Structures are given as C-alpha cells and as structure tokens.
Amino acid sequence: MNLHEYQAKAIFARMGVPVPDGAVARSPEEALAVAEKLGGALWVVKAQIHAGGRGKAGGVKLCHSPSEVRAAAKALIGTRLKTHQSGPEGLPVQAVLVEAGSAIAREFYLSLLVDRSRECLSFIASPEGGVEIETVAEEHPERLVTVPLPPATAGVPGYVARILAGRLGLTRDLFPAFEQLIAGLHASLLATDASLIEINPLILTESGSLVALDAKVSLDDNALFRHPDLAALEDSSQKNPAEEEAERAGLNYVALDGDIACMVNGAGLAMATMDLIQLKGGHPANFLDVGGDATAGRVTEAFHLFRSNPKVRAVLVNIFGGIVRCDLIAEGLITAMREAAPQVPVIVRLEGTRAEEGRRLLSQSGLPIESIAGLAEAAERAVEAAGGVS
Ligand code: GDP
Ligand code: MN
C-alpha cells in the first residue's frame, strides 16, 4: 500500500524529519485558507496522487499569491493527472498539498528500503536529486551509493551517516542535522513497517537547512494488520478498479495490457501459463491465481472481472487438479458461465484428478466451452481465438 505525500510527510514530521509547513486541501477554498494561514510570499500546490513525475506533468505549481494558490488548486482538483508513472489513464486528483515554498540551493536523492538481495535495510543516496532515479541508476550508476545497515545494530551507526553525507557533498556544519534526519527516516520505516521510504528531492535551502521536499512511503501489506491507523489512510481511488474488485473477492489478480484473460490455480502455474501465451505470440490480459480452492463463487467473480475488461478477446482457463477435483472445477465453471458468460471464446484445459469427468461435464453442458487437453495447444488456441499472433 502506498501513502500520499501529505500522509508520508505527517509521519516524517512526527519522527523528526524536517518537511515544509503545509496542509492538505480538498477544495480551492480550503487551499486558499491554508495559503493565507501559512503566509509568506511563495507557495507550492501539489497534486496528491500515487505516482511520481508530477512536476514534469504539471502537477506541482509554484504560486506567488494566495489567489494563485486557489486557482492552481481549482485547476488540479477533480482532474486526472497523467505522469510517466501513473499509467495511460492517469490518476484522479482529489486533494492537493499546499506548502510554504522553499528556496532551493541543492537537490539530493535519499532513500531507505528493505534490500532483499542483501537481506537488510539499505540507504541509497545520490548528489543528484529531483530527477528520475531509474535514469541515474542506468546512465550513471557511479553517482549512487548504497549503504547497507548491519542488521544487528539499533539505530543508524555514525559511519553510515558519514558515508552518505560524504557522497552528498554536505559540509561539516550540516552533519548533526543530517544525522538526525537519517535517524528519523530509519525510525519512520521501522514504526510503519514500510518497505521503501524515498525523499526525492531532499533539499538544502538557500538558508542552509535540510528539508524533505517530496516523500514517498510504500507500506508492507503483510504488516498492515499491525497498523490499523495506517490501513485507514488507504485511498482506493488511486487503485486499479479491477484489482480492487479482485481483492474484495479474495482473488490474486494483477491487471495487464493484453487481450487473453487467464484463470489459473496456483501462482507458479499462472506465471507459466502467461509465459506460454507470450511464447505463442499472444498477450495475457491479467495474472489471476484463483487459489487451491477454486469454488464456483470465485470462478464466477473471475468471469465478472473478465467481462468488465473491454480488451479481453479470449479466456484461457488452466486448472491442474492436484488436491482440487477437476469435476468440481467443471461444475464451478458451468455455474459461472451460466451467470456471467464472457462474450468471447472460452478455452479450458483441465488436467489431473478426475480430469476426464470434468471434461465430460463441460462437453455435456452445451455451453460454448472449448475443452483442450494439452497446455501448449490450449495456449495456441487462445492466441488464435484472440485474433492471432500480434
Ligand atoms: P514529483 O515530480 O512527483 O516527484 O514531485 P516533487 O515533489 O519532487 O516536485 C517536483 C519538483 O518541483 C521538485 O524537484 C522541485 O524542483 C519543484 N518544487 C517542489 N517544491 C518546490 C518548492 O518549494 N520550491 C521550489 N523552488 N521548487 C519546488
Ligand atoms: Mn519527487
């Protein structure tokens, strides 16, 4: 689960990571009120969406008067903002963060994340901030430094802060503030069970203070049960509607760009099925693991999802009956087809326990289901049914 920038900055503020003064606003009038209360001569109005790249996309507006703040909020709230991270449809802007503007002397990159390959937490820093970190990593990997944290120590050892400060080129006088900022970041990650905390950019202001100008926090979904207060911050408007519906139905679903809907039992088999579709020249519309207990209800939910995706041109069902029985799956499929039959060809491959009975039930049902015994053949047929190799 991702947090909005304003939510992440509230955590930072509690943990001693300096952030600009500001508040969230859900209407132009609220934005105006925040600006007037902040005072000063420069304000920033920032679209709150779960995607980066807002600056380039026009989602971050510098304003020189409260009435400009109101106008900027009016231009953003209620629209969809499309950035290089938001997907082609963009994400809805329902709120803006109004902040006191900062005078920037330098921009840095700083993050702390669960480093799976090193099996510890690692800081990543770069003296070049405010730019796409992926591009820096690709074109100038030498500009990034990764500093792993020894797992057994509490807090952040002094040498870690010194390496990072050195790489950022901070002067000696900034070190105490930087050390405190690093400690606050670390405490924020531990307190929230976050998997990633990213500040891009961390800035040095003209007046010589370090400030987190942007904030991204990704929480570990598997730890959310320990944080009901954080779980309550979830903004479902930022999520893919199909994925949300699937989550409610207890289905493991990831939306993709292709046109062949897949329903498979088991994550590994689902991945293999998607690979096979690609191999045969097609493109999967989704990843879907209906789980070991593919009940009629779950199968029906899956078919509802397929029907609501206008891109789908064929459905491929691939079930390996190990513990589950194929005849029960077939009954579930038949019920689901009667309730929510996709308007496209449905290809089914059943294998394993009671597969023959399952196939017989499908052929006796009179429903337009193409039952195919081999997985490769089934994938090939699905590609053909979806309009052939593209
Ligand atoms: P992102 O594009 O979604 O990552 O949004 P950011 O919060 O990183 O803002 C994008 C850019 O807007 C930053 O890199 C800054 O260059 C600029 N920006 C944001 N806030 C301020 C501010 O207070 N003052 C100035 N001068 N620039 C700002
Ligand atoms: Mn940013």
| Annotated catalytic residue within 30, 109, 128, 253 | 109
- Cα–ligand 2 centroid distance for 96 (angstroms): 15
- Cα–ligand 1 centroid distance for 213 (angstroms): 7
Contacts of 60 (CB under 8 A, 6+ apart): 44, 45, 46, 47, 54
CA 126, 110, 91 angle in degrees (round to 5)? 110
| Annotated catalytic residue within 107, 198, 301, 370 | 198
**Strand 314-321 and strand 346-352: pairing?**
parallel
DSSP 136: H
Helix/strand/coil (H/E/C) assignment for every residue in 86-98: CCCCCEECCCEEE
Contacts of 23 (CB under 8 A, 6+ apart): 6, 34, 37, 97, 98
Using CB atoms within 10 Å of the CB of residue 138, give its burial: 0 to 12 exposed, 13 to 18 middle, 19+ buried: exposed
Q: pLDDT tens string for the chain (390 positions)? A: 999 999 999 999 999 999 999 999 999 999 999 999 999 999 999 999 999 999 999 999 999 999 999 999 999 999 999 999 998 889 999 999 999 999 999 999 999 999 999 999 999 999 999 888 888 888 988 899 999 999 888 899 999 999 999 999 999 999 999 999 999 999 999 999 999 999 999 999 999 999 999 999 999 999 999 999 999 999 989 988 888 888 888 888 999 999 999 999 989 999 999 999 999 999 999 999 987 777 778 888 899 899 889 999 999 999 998 888 899 889 989 998 998 888 899 999 999 999 999 999 999 999 999 999 899 999 999 999 999 876
The SS3 call for residue 347 is strand
The answer to whether the beta carbons of residues 201 and 168 sit under 8 Å apart is no
The ligand 1 atom at the shortest distance from the C-alpha of residue 102 is 23
pLDDT score, position 240: 82
pLDDT score, position 231: 96
Residue among 155, 240, 144, 234 at smallest CA distance from 198: 144
Q: What does the mean pLDDT of the chain come to?
A: 94
pLDDT score, position 17: 98
**Nearest ligand to the CA atom of 54:** 1
- Measured CA to CA, the distance from residue 367 to residue 317 in angstroms comes to 15
Contacts of 141 (CB under 8 A, 6+ apart): none
- Cα–ligand 1 centroid distance for 200 (angstroms): 9
The answer to whether the beta carbons of residues 69 and 54 sit under 8 Å apart is no
Residue 198 falls in the annotated catalytic set: yes
Residue 6 falls in the annotated catalytic set: no
